[in-house]
Protein backbone atom coordinates (compact mmCIF):
# COMPACT_ATOMS: atom_id res chain seq x y z
CA UNK A 1 0.00 0.00 0.00
CA UNK A 2 2.91 2.35 0.65
CA UNK A 3 4.12 2.05 -2.95
CA UNK A 4 0.66 2.89 -4.29
CA UNK A 5 0.40 5.88 -1.98
CA UNK A 6 3.89 6.97 -3.02
CA UNK A 7 2.99 6.82 -6.72
CA UNK A 8 -0.57 8.16 -6.71
CA UNK A 9 -0.66 9.95 -3.39
CA UNK A 10 -1.58 13.37 -4.71
CA UNK A 11 -4.35 14.74 -6.85
CA UNK A 12 -1.98 16.08 -9.50
CA UNK A 13 -0.39 12.68 -10.10
CA UNK A 14 -3.82 11.02 -10.15
CA UNK A 15 -5.11 13.51 -12.69
CA UNK A 16 -2.01 12.94 -14.81
CA UNK A 17 -2.54 9.16 -14.74
CA UNK A 18 -6.21 9.59 -15.71
CA UNK A 19 -5.17 11.72 -18.70
CA UNK A 20 -2.60 9.10 -19.75
CA UNK A 21 -5.13 6.26 -19.47
CA UNK A 22 -7.72 8.26 -21.43
CA UNK A 23 -5.21 9.08 -24.19
CA UNK A 24 -4.08 5.45 -24.39
CA UNK A 25 -7.63 4.10 -24.59
CA UNK A 26 -8.51 6.75 -27.16
CA UNK A 27 -5.47 5.79 -29.25
CA UNK A 28 -6.27 2.08 -29.19
CA UNK A 29 -9.94 2.65 -30.03
CA UNK A 30 -8.96 4.97 -32.86
CA UNK A 31 -6.51 2.47 -34.33
CA UNK A 32 -8.95 -0.44 -33.95
CA UNK A 33 -11.97 1.42 -35.30
CA UNK A 34 -10.39 3.20 -38.24
CA UNK A 35 -7.87 1.15 -40.12
CA UNK A 36 -6.47 4.13 -41.98
CA UNK A 37 -2.74 4.82 -41.99
CA UNK A 38 -3.34 8.17 -40.27
CA UNK A 39 -4.99 6.43 -37.32
CA UNK A 40 -1.59 5.10 -36.27
CA UNK A 41 -0.57 8.67 -35.47
CA UNK A 42 -2.95 8.59 -32.51
CA UNK A 43 -0.42 6.56 -30.51
CA UNK A 44 1.87 9.60 -30.51
CA UNK A 45 -0.19 11.30 -27.77
CA UNK A 46 0.34 8.64 -25.09
CA UNK A 47 4.00 8.46 -26.08
CA UNK A 48 4.39 12.22 -25.65
CA UNK A 49 2.53 12.18 -22.33
CA UNK A 50 4.73 9.47 -20.83
CA UNK A 51 8.13 10.68 -22.04
CA UNK A 52 11.07 10.76 -21.37
CA UNK A 53 11.06 7.42 -19.50
CA UNK A 54 8.91 5.65 -22.06
CA UNK A 55 11.07 7.08 -24.86
CA UNK A 56 14.10 5.47 -23.26
CA UNK A 57 12.28 2.14 -23.06
CA UNK A 58 11.15 2.44 -26.68
CA UNK A 59 14.75 3.13 -27.71
CA UNK A 60 16.04 0.10 -25.79
CA UNK A 61 13.46 -2.20 -27.44
CA UNK A 62 13.10 -0.74 -30.93
CA UNK A 63 11.16 -3.53 -32.61
CA UNK A 64 9.44 -5.17 -29.66
CA UNK A 65 7.01 -2.38 -28.85
CA UNK A 66 5.94 -1.98 -32.46
CA UNK A 67 4.99 -5.67 -32.75
CA UNK A 68 3.27 -6.18 -29.41
CA UNK A 69 0.54 -4.13 -27.76
CA UNK A 70 1.47 -5.59 -24.37
CA UNK A 71 5.05 -4.33 -24.59
CA UNK A 72 3.80 -0.95 -25.81
CA UNK A 73 1.38 -0.58 -22.89
CA UNK A 74 4.06 -1.79 -20.46
CA UNK A 75 6.47 0.91 -21.68
CA UNK A 76 3.73 3.53 -21.39
CA UNK A 77 2.82 2.31 -17.90
CA UNK A 78 6.39 2.47 -16.60
CA UNK A 79 6.81 5.94 -18.08
CA UNK A 80 3.50 7.17 -16.64
CA UNK A 81 4.25 5.81 -13.16
CA UNK A 82 7.72 7.37 -13.18
CA UNK A 83 6.26 10.72 -14.21
CA UNK A 84 3.55 10.44 -11.54
CA UNK A 85 6.25 9.96 -8.89
CA UNK A 86 8.10 13.03 -10.16
CA UNK A 87 4.90 15.11 -10.26
CA UNK A 88 4.04 14.08 -6.70
CA UNK A 89 7.56 14.88 -5.50
CA UNK A 90 7.49 18.32 -7.12
CA UNK A 91 4.08 19.12 -5.60
CA UNK A 92 5.26 18.02 -2.15
CA UNK A 93 8.41 20.13 -2.46
CA UNK A 94 6.41 23.19 -3.47
CA UNK A 95 4.07 22.68 -0.53
CA UNK A 96 7.01 22.35 1.86
CA UNK A 97 8.61 25.48 0.44
CA UNK A 98 5.40 27.46 0.78
CA UNK A 99 4.89 26.23 4.34
CA UNK A 100 8.44 27.13 5.35
CA UNK A 101 7.97 30.78 4.42
CA UNK A 102 6.12 32.77 7.01
CA UNK A 103 4.50 35.23 4.65
CA UNK A 104 1.49 37.09 6.02
CA UNK A 105 -1.51 37.45 3.77
CA UNK A 106 -2.01 41.09 4.79
CA UNK A 107 0.77 43.63 5.05
CA UNK A 108 0.94 44.31 8.82
CA UNK A 109 2.83 47.59 8.39
CA UNK A 110 0.18 49.03 6.09
CA UNK A 111 -2.57 47.97 8.51
CA UNK A 112 -0.84 49.72 11.43
CA UNK A 113 -0.52 53.06 9.63
CA UNK A 114 -4.23 53.38 8.96
Domains in the chain: boundaries: 8-100
The larger pLDDT score, comparing residue 25 to residue 111, is at 25
Q: How confident is the model at residue 59 (pLDDT cuts 50, 70, 90)?
A: confident
pTM across the whole model: 0.75
**Count, residues in the chain:** 114
Q: How many Å from the N-terminal Cα to the C-terminal Cα in the chain?
A: 54
pLDDT in tens, 25-45: 998 888 777 766 666 678 888
Amino acid sequence: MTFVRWVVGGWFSRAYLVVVVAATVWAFVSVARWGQPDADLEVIWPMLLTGPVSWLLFAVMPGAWADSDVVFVACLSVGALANAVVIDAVVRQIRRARASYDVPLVDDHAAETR
